[in-house]
Amino acid sequence: MKRLRPLLPPLTLSIYVGRRFLLAVIGMQAGLTAIGSLFDFLDLLRQASDKPKATFGRVLVMEILRIPWLGMQILPFAVLLGGIFAFWRLTRSSELVVARATGVSAWQFLAMPVLCAALIGVFTTAAISPVSAVMFARAETLYSTYLEIGSGPLSLQGGQLWLRQTDPAAGPGGIAILHADNVHLKGKILTTGHMTVLRLGPHTTLRDRIEAAGGQLEPGGWTLDRVAVLAPDAPPKTLPGMHFPTDLTVGRVQESFASPSALSFWALPGFIRLLERSGFSPTRHELAFQSLLALPLLCATMALVAAGFSMRPARRGGVAQMLGAGIGCGFALFMLSEVAAQFGKSGALPVILAAWAPAAAGLMLALALLLHLEDG
């Protein structure tokens, strides 16, 4: 009777292949992050050449704080190149050839590397992202202070600010639309010139209009000066001052203009809801959140792509061309993800499609290659 092929690979073989893959990915991640950090550090030094306050030590601290963020950007390529190296070594030593000759299919011994790659993505999203966000935010503050003197994190210095927020005092479904001129941020204090607040009740009916000569954002609300309240069918009311409640803070206003990389995976959903209530566009933050969600799938896809381009037996020839094609495919996926991200930020593509399309495209390519390798 013909012996049936086992459904699961031997545990020892799975652990061995998974360990070789994991060590190769870790080594490649360390090497690529070191090279990327070196070039980034040299670029920061170039920018600091005409900034007397940007000393070598401060630039070095800035670069160290950026390392986790840079490592997250490099991770999919580390999985791809580490996987290519690991599978090429296993194929060159005929270990995978022997395993397949014993009845173990490529799908079976690839299960552990793919699982390892997906777990690396999950760990990066859940644990590394919060650390990276804190360090990246600190690095951005140092960058704004010493390399972009006078710019600050609020890009509307001296300009206008539009906000939209819920207003429970205006009734169920009530909202308030705020417009402020001459916005200035000094330290943790945000002040404005003339401010207008439109308070809308249910069905967007105008409840009243508030005109203030100036305002200051404080914890829990806006402090308005020299206020005039104008309501339909009521005489104008003037007040020396007024407190208008809001759940917005100076830090959140700053973050809304800062890079989404300064927010962790766990903080992004709540902040996206806050942006929607406040009238800011949440597209960049939604794209960052969906990209972090897609990272485990992208890492698993890169492991499959690496296997598809590196398990060709040496006796068939063309190994170098296959390895080069694998590296080229990785860069093509990178370009696809960048183009999709730009379309997503501009609103031309839905955010979910822009974040998940590169991983889905790479997965289909990898499955096609492995089907050809295994059954073709």
CA–CA separation, 129 and 202 (whole Å): 40
Residue type, 372: H
List, for residues 73-112, the tens digit of each pLDDT value: 999 999 999 999 898 888 888 777 677 667 677 677 788 8
**Predicted local distance difference test score (pLDDT) of residue 136:** 93
- Give the helix ranges, DSSP H, for 93-186: 95-101, 106-109, 111-123, 129-146
Contact indicator for 263, 131 with CB cutoff of 8 Å: no
61-96 burial, b if ≥16 CB within 10 A, otherwise e? ebbebbbbbbbbebbbbbbbbbbbbbbbebbeeebb
Which residues of the chain carry a pLDDT beneath 50?
1-4, 7, 150-157, 376
User: What was the pLDDT predicted at 158?
Assistant: 52
- Structural domains in the chain, CATH included, are 11-149+283-375 (no CATH), 161-257 (2.60.450.10)
pLDDT at residue number 170 = 67
Give residue 60's pLDDT: 94
Burial 208-227 (b: 16+ CB within 10 A, else e): bebbbebbebeeebbbbeeb
pLDDT for the residue 257: 61
DSSP string of 235-294, one letter each residue: --EEEEEEEEE-S--HHHHHHHHS-GGGS-TTTHHHHHHHHHHHT---HHHHHHHHHHHH
Give the percent of the chain with pLDDT over 70. 85
The candidate with the shortest Cα–Cα distance to 221, out of 247, 242, 250, is 247
Q: What is the CA angle 153-157-160, rounded to 5?
A: 120
Distance (Å, rounded) from C-alpha 16 to C-alpha 89?
A: 13
Round to whole Å and give the CA distance between 210 and 14: 68
**What's the confidence (pLDDT) of residue 318?**
58
